[in-house]
Amino acid sequence: MVKRKTILFVSEALLLKELLLDQLQKQGEYLLEESLSVTEAISLIVKEHFDCILIDNSLADVSLSNLCKNIRLEGVRSPIILVAEELGEDVAIAALDAGANDYVLKPFKINVLVAKIRSNIRQFEQSEFAILRFGRFSFKPGDKILLNNSSKEEVRLTDKETAIIKLLYLSGGEVVTRATLLEEVWGYNTTLTTHTLETHIYRIRQKVGNASSGQDFIATESEGYRMQF
C-alpha cells in the first residue's frame, strides 16, 4: 500500500475547496482535509500531522505572516504554501520570513499546485527537521530516533538503521531491492553481502520489539523490503 500525503487546506472559499478536493483526490497521492477558520486550523495542526498546509489569503481579517508565525510557534515544520489572487511584494516577503515556504497565484493550473506540493514535501522529508509518520511511529531521522506514539517510548537508531528506514519511507510503500539498499546505505562496496543488510533489518525489528510496539513496519519481499504504512 502506497502512503498518501495529508494536506490541510485553510480557506473560506467553498467553491475553491470543492475544486481542490476533487482534483487532488483524482491525483491519487493526497488526502485533503479542510478548515474554515484560523482557530479550527490551529486546533487541527496541534492534534494531527499534515504533510503540507495550504492557506488561502481570502481569509477575513487574517494576517498571513502572523498565521504562518503562529503555526511555526506550535512547533510545526511541515511546508506551508499560500494560495492567493495577488500577493504584494511586502506581504509575500513578510509571509516567507514568518515561515511560509512557497506560494501560488490564482488563477492557477492544478498541475502547477500539485508540483509545488510535491516539491515542498520532498524537500522537507529530506531535511534534518523532518518528522516522518507511519503507523504508530514518528521517525526523526535528524535525531536518529523512532518514537512510539502510543507508549511514548523512544528507540535510538544507528546511522545505518536510520538510513534504511528513511529510504524505505521515501519509497512510499514500494519494494526497495537489497542491491539498492546496499548501494544507497553503504555505498559501492564489493565486500558487502546481503547478510549485512539482513542483520541490520533484524536489529531494527528487535529494537522495535523492545519498544513494546507489537508492529513490524518492515515487510520482507522476495526482491527486498518495503515499508508497511
What does the pLDDT read at residue 2? 62
Cα–Cα dist 184/49, whole Å: 28
Task: Region of 75 please: left (phi>0), alpha (psi -120 to 50) or beta.
Answer: left
pLDDT at position 177 = 96
DSSP string spanning 64-108? Answer: HHHHHHHHHHTT--S-EEEEES---HHHHHHHHHHT--EEEESS-
| pLDDT at res. 214 | 47
- Between 188 and 56, the more confident residue is 56
Same domain, 118 and 202: no
Residue 83 contacts residue 104 (beta carbons within 8 Å): yes
The pTM score is: 0.77
Grid cell listed for 228: 508497511
Domain that holds residue 68: 5-126
Q: Is the dihedral of CA 208, 212, 215, 220 positive or negative?
A: positive
Give the model's pLDDT for residue 123: 93
In the chain, DSSP finds a helix count (H) and a strand count (E) of 8, 12
Domains: count for the chain: 2
Q: What is the pLDDT of residue 210?
A: 57
Instruction: For residues 119 and 28, state if they share a domain.
Output: yes
The answer to whether residues 105 and 200 belong to one domain is no
Burial class (CB in 10 A: 0-12, 13-18, 19+), 89: exposed
Whether residues 67 and 165 fall in one domain = no
Q: Is the pLDDT of residue 49 over 90?
A: no
Do 173 and 151 lie in one domain? The reply is yes
Shared domain for 142 and 76, answered yes or no, is: no
Mean pLDDT confidence for 155-183 = 94
Rounded to 10 degrees, the C-alpha dihedral 70/72/74/76 comes to 140
What's the mean pLDDT in 202-207? 92
Task: For the chain, report the end-to-end CA distance as a whole number of angstroms.
Answer: 7
At 150 the pLDDT is: 84
Of the two residues 170 and 229, the one the predictor is more confident about is 170
**Mean per-residue pLDDT, 152-161:** 94
What CATH number has the domain bearing residue 172? 1.10.10.10
For residue 82, give the CATH number of its domain: 3.40.50.2300
Residue type, position 170, single letter:
L
Q: What is the average per-residue pLDDT within 169-192? A: 89
Higher per-residue confidence, 182 vs 86? 182
Domain C-terminal end among 100, 126, 152: 126
pLDDT one-digit tens code per residue, 5-47: 899 999 888 777 788 888 777 877 888 898 988 889 999 998 8
> b/e for 175-208, b at 16 or more Cβ within 10 A?
bbebeebbeebeeeeeeeeeebbeebbeebeebb
∠ CA 186-190-195 to the nearest 5 degrees? 65
β-strand partners of 80: 53
Report which DSSP code applies to 171.
T
* H or E element at residue 139: strand 137-140
Confidence band, pLDDT 50/70/90 cuts, at residue 82: very high
C-alpha cell at 73: 510557534
